[in-house]
Structure 1
């Protein structure tokens, strides 16, 4: 079944996906459970590994959920086709449960959904499991449609390979060693204060290390003690890990309204730190900043 091409919004600028980092911390191999093969897409690597890479070869993006058996089955078939075809096309996977913003960028309405891109543009898409032979024909038609039309941007990978320090930082992150990754990215940032990836990584790894240290019932603790600023900070961190970004912002904005002096300054500072974890153009960040301004003035 084919449906209209989904809109793809601008990728988050220099951000490291929090849910992906959290998953790496708990599963050091960084693998997505249930889906073999394919690059796991996050907000951080969407542009480089999907949009830019699609200038070299077609990229097939599977938007899936481990809760969906058909998603897992489709992932297995696509991975087998990708392996059989060698480097003719690339398979990428988006876990809609842990990376909802990327799913929203693709306009996904149900899982599994498959979107094929070339030269940064969606070419074809479908929903639901398809018979293997039909998937084979679909991939072949995709390859035929793009044959000789993609100029390739191999320089991207070569440019990344010439910076061993960046490669090492990424390797630490992929291995789930957050402290080593933070140290490596900080060294890059010390050498180049404008290094976008290092700046975003240091900020978000520091957040993740702090947030994962909070008790699991941090939200309940804060709800029971609405005047406890530190409890509110912990609860907001946990809510962001749980993808409840709007709730985290609302919690601290409410606290801004109830505090004054140094306490209000501390809450405002923490809110700004949380805003900086995301793309400034994110609608929730825009709304959060507006609500903070209203609370302050």
Structure 2
């Protein structure tokens, strides 16, 4: 029971973190629009448009993270935990698209550099690092995939503003405008590397891949070491949302086994699974002479 409460507390904390990130990002976007018009800087205005998209995806993530806390019902018998994963998927795709747009804009500027407003860049870089930095600190220890994707979403912004800060300081002393797009490309490639890793993990969970660090042959081998179990088959292991894992299996026992022995077998299998950090198990017990073939055996 304590384990369940720990999960619940973690989910609530995650939702609150994403809420803070959403509010900070939205406020800063408004500030960017005002500042972009004030400094007449297209760079800042275009970044404001990028951050407006960020705010939208953060809002979606916050809503889905909250929605994922709902308890299982007759429509969603496994619960709503995967709605958080859906938020991570949407956010990853938006971040991937945003990164490609930044690359598409930055690479031509390496070939034909453009002059930039260094004073406006410097002021908004400091504000951007401070405001987005607060949100990043809130999310740096996030456990859910949704929180981790949001973390990288905001980290992209922080690193982007660090680039603008460095570029604005350098450009105040030397007239080499190509510095800005080169740094932008390097940071974006670093972000893309992390986004692709998270996206692969999200998709593997949606496709019900066996969670990493688990091996079905090894688990089945351990089950066969339990007294009275003759063989094991149709073992399925998947993750609900990256943290909670589920397993189902069929174990074959001797024909002359007693009811008490069956209860003992099931308990030993559950204990083995629980020790591995798997949250839920379904065990189907079959007798040696029982013919488990076809559709009945899935």
Length-normalised TM-score, structure 2: 0.24
Greater percentage in helix: 2
Length-normalised TM-score, structure 1: 0.24
Which structure has the larger Rg? 2
